[in-house]
């Protein structure tokens, strides 16, 4: 599977490189054609950054002792020849762990002390300060040394019961000391082939960790491109599994419908020497069917397998054991559905927007070709005839001047009306208004020590945000309607060919906010006891929700600003092209008075301009073709194809 998934990542990486190369080519084309401006350049730079930073994050969630870490070893790290991450029976990873590749530093394991939970600083904030972490160097030439270093992920320590409660890890009633994980979070960086290609693996421990770490539930897990929820085949869906599903996993499916897989692990425990293979298969199918029914999923989303058999089989190169493990179906899901879904997301967010911009450029360059051809024909007519044609050309020039002045006046009026509308829209989603709503609700939650008070605070916050969002939706539709009318008028009355670019859509932000509301309520319910007893955890929860809500509106605000500058850009560009054409025709008239030689020079210039514009159009069409999504096998290198076969 490593080879198969590596090929998929390689294909995806090559696709991103090709897309970035095409966008760079378009930037150069804009400069050569004299059509570049600040707004379009900023949008292209943003798209390039998205392509550069976009990684694939796969999150694993499960209660303790479900074999989750063993599954990670089997899927990704069997090539090391050892059980790289600690996953022996009775030995459970105690803290959320991120595995990735940091090209800027030597391989490392970094561990964040569990007591940092006593502050209200998020994990992301600590990531910016490596000095706050315990740093362990890794020797990638020695899997055994890495194995030994990773044993730190299992470490626990005893703390006073009151401290454990403040950490969100309360003990049993009457306990004076409680065993808690040593670490709040772990980061592992080393140059594994999959990690080098942009894979990030997020390993999350059980329900208690999810319930006491709001950032993990409300930020890290929802942003993962794929999630594997791991259950045990011998126990089926337990009550704690169901709690985790209801409060932390189920909402993920609505946001990433193609990214969730439920793994029914440990099917090897169902095997019995007194049962036939058919009987074992029937038992596995029964567990699969019951799991799908309990979680309200189709059976195709449930993957029964044995991570242990798969890992041992891969290390020992035992094909029968690998086949019996049934890991291949999950590997296919990861390689096909997850990677395909991620490429679709990038296609929608980056490529389609760039193609919209190119469409506007194409219209302008085609107008330029038409104008150059028309000017050449007019000059040729003057050259062959003279006075009548010259008089007609003067008349056309006056008409063109009148049309240009009228278009310019209408454009200025339209621009003023549109900017007035958008100014009202920007007022609606000003981040300062959002922060005020969040702070008011936060104050209500923090001051309350009852579950009802905390729910009321959350409700007040989201009611305020929803009201603000509804006002924004109304204002957005008004702005879009006005813009449609402006473009229609220029087409109908002025014969403009310009098409609108990508229109600002509020729907995505509405969905994000509704998703945050759902996740926030689920989280508060699952952690209500802790929230009503621990001020620090309550603050961290509220801050996490508030930061994410504020970020949603800040992103919307920036998108509206970008839309404001880009919305009328095609019309402005066409008016500018019209001005250039008008000035060219006037210049042609001046050349008539200068004599035949000057006229022939102008004819030559017009022909050269037409030829150049046609060449530029050809280059632009080549860029369009290169941005179309190629088949995966077309992107694979010969070495990758040979390896796959």
Both 74 and 188 in one domain: the answer is yes
Average pLDDT, the chain: 83
Residue 339 belongs to a domain: no
Both 180 and 319 in one domain: the answer is yes
Residue 270 belongs to a domain: yes
Residue 76 sits in a domain of what CATH number? Answer: 3.40.50.300
Rounded to two decimals, the pTM is 0.75
pLDDT confidence bin for 495, thresholds 50/70/90: confident
Both 293 and 432 in one domain: the answer is no
In 172-225, beta strands by DSSP E: 177-181, 183-189, 199-204
User: In the prediction, which pLDDT does 640 show?
Assistant: 44
Both 320 and 458 in one domain: the answer is no
Using CA atoms, how far residue 596 sits from 381, 388, 392, 395, in Å, is 12, 16, 18, 21
Nearest-5° Cα angle at 428, 423 to 431: 105
Residue 168 belongs to a domain: yes
Q: What are residue 165's DSSP bridge partners?
A: none
Q: Do 36 and 202 contact (CB within 8 A), yes or no?
A: no
Q: What are residue 135's DSSP bridge partners?
A: 110
Residue 586 belongs to a domain: no
Distance CA 318, CA 337 (A): 27
Half-sphere exposure of 164 (CA within 13 A, CB side): 21
The count of other CB atoms within 10 Å of the CB of residue 272 is 10
Across 325-333, average pLDDT: 92
Both 96 and 238 in one domain: the answer is yes
Is a pLDDT exceeding 70 seen at residue 539?
no
Q: Do 515 and 251 contact (CB within 8 A), yes or no?
A: yes
Across 340-366, average pLDDT: 86
Domain finish residue from 576, 594, 622: 576
Residue 203 belongs to a domain: yes
Both 305 and 441 in one domain: the answer is no
- Least confident range of 28-32, 125-129, 370-374: 370-374
User: In the prediction, which pLDDT does 296 show?
Assistant: 92
Dihedral angle sign, alpha carbons of residues 627, 628, 629, 630:
negative
- Domain, as residue range, for 540: 425-576
Is a pLDDT exceeding 50 seen at residue 260?
yes
Both 321 and 455 in one domain: the answer is no
End-to-end CA separation in angstroms for the chain: 13
Q: Do 182 and 94 contact (CB within 8 A), yes or no?
A: yes
Domain finish residue from 533, 555, 576: 576
Q: Do 542 and 333 contact (CB within 8 A), yes or no?
A: no
**DSSP letter (8 states) at residue 236:** B
Residue % of the chain over a pLDDT of 90 = 32
In tens, the pLDDT along 218-245 reads 778 888 989 999 999 999 999 989 988 9
Q: Hunting for tokens 């609505």 — which residue is that?
A: 254
Say which residue, 4 or 571, is predicted with more confidence: 571
Both 111 and 252 in one domain: the answer is yes
Both 178 and 295 in one domain: the answer is yes
| Displacement of CA 198 from its chain's centroid (Å) | 14
Say which residue, 641 or 3, is predicted with more confidence: 3
Task: Give the tokens for residue 514.
Answer: 């509704």
Across 103-119, average pLDDT: 93
Residue 391 belongs to a domain: no
H/E stretch holding 283 reads: helix 277-295
Domain finish residue from 270, 290, 325: 325
Distance CA 69, CA 313 (A): 16
Half-sphere exposure of 287 (CA within 13 A, CB side): 24
Residue 437 belongs to a domain: yes
Residue 3 belongs to a domain: no
In tens, the pLDDT along 426-467 reads 988 888 888 888 888 777 766 766 666 766 777 777 788 888
Per the structure, the count of domains in the chain is 2
Both 298 and 437 in one domain: the answer is no
Both 441 and 298 in one domain: the answer is no
């Amino acid at each position: 599977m490593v080879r198969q998934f590596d090929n998929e990542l390689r294909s995806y990486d090559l696709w991103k490189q090709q897309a970035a190369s095409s966008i760079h080519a378009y930037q150069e084309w804009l400069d050569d054609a004299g059509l570049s401006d600040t707004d379009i350049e900023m949008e292209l730079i943003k798209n390039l950054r998205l392509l550069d930073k976009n990684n694939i994050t796969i999150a694993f969630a499960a209660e303790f002792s479900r074999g989750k870490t063993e599954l990670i070893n089997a899927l990704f790290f069997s090539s090391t020849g050892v059980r790289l991450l600690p996953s022996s029976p009775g030995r459970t990873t105690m803290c959320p762990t991120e595995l990735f590749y940091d090209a800027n530093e030597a391989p490392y394991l970094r561990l964040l002390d569990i007591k940092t939970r006593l502050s209200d600083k998020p994990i992301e904030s600590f990531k910016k300060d490596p000095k706050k972490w315990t740093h362990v160097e890794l020797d990638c030439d020695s899997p055994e040394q890495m194995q030994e270093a990773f044993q730190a992920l299992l470490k626990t320590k005893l703390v006073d019961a009151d401290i454990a409660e403040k950490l969100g890890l309360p003990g049993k009633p009457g306990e004076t000391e409680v065993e808690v994980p040593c670490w709040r979070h772990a980061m592992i960086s080393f140059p594994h082939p999959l990690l080098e290609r942009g894979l990030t693996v997020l390993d999350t421990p059980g329900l208690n960790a999810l319930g006491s770490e709001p950032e993990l539930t409300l930020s890290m897990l929802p942003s993962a491109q794929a999630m594997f929820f791991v259950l045990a085949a011998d126990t089926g869906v337990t009550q704690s599994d169901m709690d985790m599903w209801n409060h932390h996993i189920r909402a993920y499916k609505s946001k990433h419908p193609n990214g969730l897989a439920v793994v029914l692990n440990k099917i090897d425990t169902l095997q019995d020497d007194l049962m036939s293979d058919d009987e074992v298969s029937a038992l596995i199918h029964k567990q699969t069917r019951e799991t799908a029914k309990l979680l309200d999923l189709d059976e195709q989303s449930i993957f029964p397998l044995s991570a242990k058999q798969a890992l041992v089989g891969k290390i020992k190169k035992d094909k029968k054991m690998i086949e019996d493990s049934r890991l291949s179906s999950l590997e296919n899901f990861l390689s096909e559905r997850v990677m395909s879904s991620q490429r679709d997301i990038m296609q929608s967010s980056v490529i389609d927007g760039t193609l919209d911009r190119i469409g506007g450029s194409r219209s302008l360059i085609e107008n330029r070709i038409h104008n150059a051809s028309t000017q050449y024909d007019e000059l040729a007519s003057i050259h062959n005839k003279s006075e009548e044609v010259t008089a007609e050309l003067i008349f056309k020039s006056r008409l063109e001047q009148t049309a240009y002045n009228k278009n310019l006046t209408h454009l200025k009026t339209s621009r003023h009306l549109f900017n007035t509308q958008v100014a009202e829209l920007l007022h609606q989603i000003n981040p300062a208004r959002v922060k005020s709503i969040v702070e008011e609700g936060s104050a209500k939650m923090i001051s309350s020590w009852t579950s009802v008070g905390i729910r009321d605070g959350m409700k007040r916050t989201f009611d305020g945000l929803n009201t603000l969002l509804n006002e924004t939706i109304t204002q957005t539709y008004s702005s879009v309607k006005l813009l449609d009318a402006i473009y229609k008028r220029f087409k109908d009355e002025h014969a403009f060919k310009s098409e609108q670019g990508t229109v600002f859509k509020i729907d995505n932000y509405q969905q994000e906010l509704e998703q945050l509301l759902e996740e926030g309520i689920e989280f508060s319910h699952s952690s209500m006891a802790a929230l009503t007893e621990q001020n620090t955890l309550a603050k961290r929860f509220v801050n996490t929700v508030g930061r994410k809500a504020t970020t949603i509106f800040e992103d919307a605000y920036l998108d509206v600003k970008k839309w404001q500058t880009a919305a009328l850009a095609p019309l402005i560009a066409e008016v500018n092209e019209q001005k250039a054409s008008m000035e060219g025709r006037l210049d042609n008239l001046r050349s008539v008075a200068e004599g035949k030689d000057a006229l022939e020079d102008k004819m030559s210039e017009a022909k050269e301009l037409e030829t150049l514009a046609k060449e530029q159009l050809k280059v632009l069409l080549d860029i369009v073709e290169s941005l179309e999504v190629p088949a995966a096998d077309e992107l694979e290198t010969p070495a990758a194809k040979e390896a796959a076969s």
